Structure 1
């Protein structure tokens, strides 16, 4: 389904490079940015037909060998599928996965073209319906299956905005094997586009979720994490009872984002290890 002459694809390729590091998260800490090589991998950009007839762009990375790798959906922060997200996909591919990162904001706008977080939140994020995201992720699963991925071993992970989406997708997709939510919001006000939030979905979880959160996260109080862990443990859902959140006491929000000042190398490395172990123990590579 890759189409090099598709203008949407060309625009996505431009935005997914270095320019995709939104100005809102400057300064980029160049001395810390991890760059994962693509040797031994197949990487690229493709598109899939969304359920509303739109053309959804995506980035993928997979091992360059025969076989059916397990699939992991990688859901970005509010800044879209920039180079850091692509690098995460390459890390998963080196671990044996077909990693798929869809550009879920393409209908609403390009975050890389905006110069502050408030613009992104108001012009893009506030206009993205949860139901649309769930449908787009489902179509990415279809794409992965068509590309030889083993969707019977399906996982999802996401960061910040994508962390919240990870919890939602774990309640949406019955065939999901696991989720890993990185510092995703747990509470929120219900609206037409975002009718529910993770704290209200513990009984609906279809797959166990590992949460990776920072104890110094100004936007996600420790009390929310404690309440979520308690709700998971008390749930009637087996998937919820198998879920839990790991709290890194000294970490801020986005502690895994190696291009941001919030990055904490030791916590990020430990969390990445936990992420892979969680997925691998549940039908991963």
Structure 2
């Protein structure tokens, strides 16, 4: 990912700057990132970098240049006071003209490339930018729009009929700037338009996507981003074969056992968490150390995966499988501190792999640790609601017995 500052010609004859982040490929569709009331500050630049990782040319125009160039505020009380002053005095017509000029400038860039049967420019905005994204959908000839907690959209619902591109609007259920009655008003206007989606995150407040902020809600932010990507990928692309990308990663891990090549399939700062044992790592260097010394060379010789199901979404893949192996070595990541027992094991596994663009971002791996410990003789299942290899056998064959661990199962036989 590379970034620079570009200049854009405004319709009124002025010029303004915009932060531009390019994806690793150097080209792709464009996403115009519309600022909060704090200007194109560090957070907005990081948002652009984030979308560049997803494969987009991300451009954040300086929409406050009508006051003075380069306004960049933080989040202290005095910053909020100054930001609200700019917000209250913003010339919306001039701002929309600047957004339109940014869209036109993006379309004129050699780096902005549309996929077949896809558009080339979308907008994503936050807070003030959330409303501006809505207005851009109606006025700026964009191919899609996404607004996060846009304040004042309900004041411009007369433009709803002018919106003919896919759009998603995200709101926090605790957001006092967009109370439930406001959200319902917006939702009702678009009730007959399947291309417009309104999402509410019950436990999230305003600015729930601004990482580092007191109101940041990681669960809501992750879900909103997945839904945002669904809009962007559908309207703009780029389209990635996530299953093939993951399979290549797994091939390098388990067959080639090549640490350096494995790391090239991941983003610059990935993370992996094997949930039952909390093994893995966050960040390139930490994760590479884990892969090099404790994961890739620490797998049994006969390790294999029997697939059960695979679900591929817009930015993640869920693999369900049975992991089979002979416990012929100490497996640091799976059975840390346990000497080889020589036992053959079959255990249910679920791997949730998240992607950014065409690279892996993180993996959450789950398995039945109790079943594993039973099978290697380290846990006595007597009197406990756990099973051994039967858990894998049931997953592979639905006709295997159910409810054997329920001592009260027999009591319901004649109740129906």
Question: Would you say 1:223 and 2:189 are equivalent positions?
Answer: no
Tell me if structure 2 keeps the 8 A contact 1:186–1:228: no
Q: Which residue of the partner structure matches residue 115 of structure 1?
A: 78
Q: Deviations over 1:77-129 (max 9, x none)?
A: 0001111111111111111111100010012143528924233222x222222
SS of residue matched to 1:200 = helix
Tell me if structure 1 keeps the 8 A contact 2:48–2:59: yes
Q: Which residue of the partner structure matches residue 34 of structure 2?
A: 75
Instruction: For 1:126-275, list aligned pairs within 5 A.
Output: 126-148=88-110, 149-150=112-113, 152-174=119-141, 176-187=142-153, 197-234=155-192, 240-275=193-228
CA distance in 2, matches of 1:64, 1:146: 20
Q: Deviations over 1:154-190 (max 9, x none)?
A: 100100000000110000023x2211100002456xx
Structure with the largest fraction of strand: 2
CA distance in 2, matches of 1:186, 1:222: 13
CA distance in 1, matches of 2:24, 2:108: 16
- 1:216 Cα deviation (Å)? 0.3
Q: Which has the higher contact order (CA 8 A, sep 6+)?
A: 1
- 1:132 Cα deviation (Å)? 1.0
Q: Which residue of the partner structure matches residue 306 of structure 2?
A: none
Q: Deviations over 1:234-261 (max 9, x none)?
A: 4xxxxx4410211000100000001210
TM normalised by structure 1 equals 0.75
Tell me if structure 2 keeps the 8 A contact 1:78–1:111: no
Select between 97-106 and 141-150 the one with higher mean Cα deviation: 141-150
Question: Would you say 1:54 and 2:14 are equivalent positions?
Answer: yes
Question: Which ranges of structure 1 fall in alignment gaps of 5 or more residues?
Answer: 1-40, 189-196, 235-239
Q: Deviations over 1:22-76 (max 9, x none)?
A: xxxxxxxxxxxxxxxxxxx12111111211121211001111335x411110001
SS of residue matched to 1:201 = helix
CA distance in 2, matches of 1:284, 1:198: 29
Tell me if structure 1 keeps the 8 A contact 2:133–2:147: yes
Cα gap change, 1:211/1:164 in structure 2, threshold over 3 Å: closer, same or farther?
A: same
Number of matched pairs: 229
Question: Would you say 1:101 and 2:60 are equivalent positions?
Answer: yes
Cα gap change, 1:116/1:173 in structure 2, threshold over 3 Å: closer, same or farther?
A: closer
Q: Deviations over 1:190-220 (max 9, x none)?
A: xxxxxxx332221111312101110000111
SS of residue matched to 1:261 = coil
Which one has a bigger Cα radius of gyration?
2
SS of residue matched to 2:66 = coil
Q: Which residue of the partner structure matches residue 24 of structure 1?
A: none
Q: Which residue of the partner structure matches residue 87 of structure 2?
A: 125
TM normalised by structure 2 equals 0.52
Question: Which ranges of structure 2 fall in alignment gaps of 5 or more residues?
Answer: 239-416
